[in-house]
Amino acid sequence: MARKGLVAEIFSKALHVDNVELYAVGYVDLGEIKQVTLTEFLKLSENFEVIPASRIAYIKREDKILYSKKDKKESDQI
């Protein structure tokens, strides 16, 4: 549940405070990671109904990674 909370927080900031066009989302689709803009992801996911938060691999703003599923798994093991 924490994953969706962090993702929702990043999305909210991007949509309401920052420039949404600076954000990109990488998500798993048929075993590979596809990257789209945040705006496109919101259309594709239909409010996480079609693409759940658990399939998000990363979220980045320009070149800075804000969320990464890989980092989350590694930090859980420490």
pLDDT attached to residue 72: 55
> How sure is the predictor about 47, in pLDDT bands with cuts at 50, 70 and 90?
confident
If you average pLDDT over residues 6-32, what whole number do you get? 94
Separation between Cα atoms, residue 38 and residue 14, nearest integer Å:
9
Whether residue 4 is predicted with pLDDT greater than 90 in this model: the reply is no
Sign of CA dihedral 69, 70, 75, 76: positive
Q: What is the pTM of this model?
A: 0.81
Q: Considering only residues 20 and 3, tell me which one the structure prediction assigns the higher pLDDT.
A: 20
- Average pLDDT for the chain: 86
The owner of tokens 């930090």 is: 75
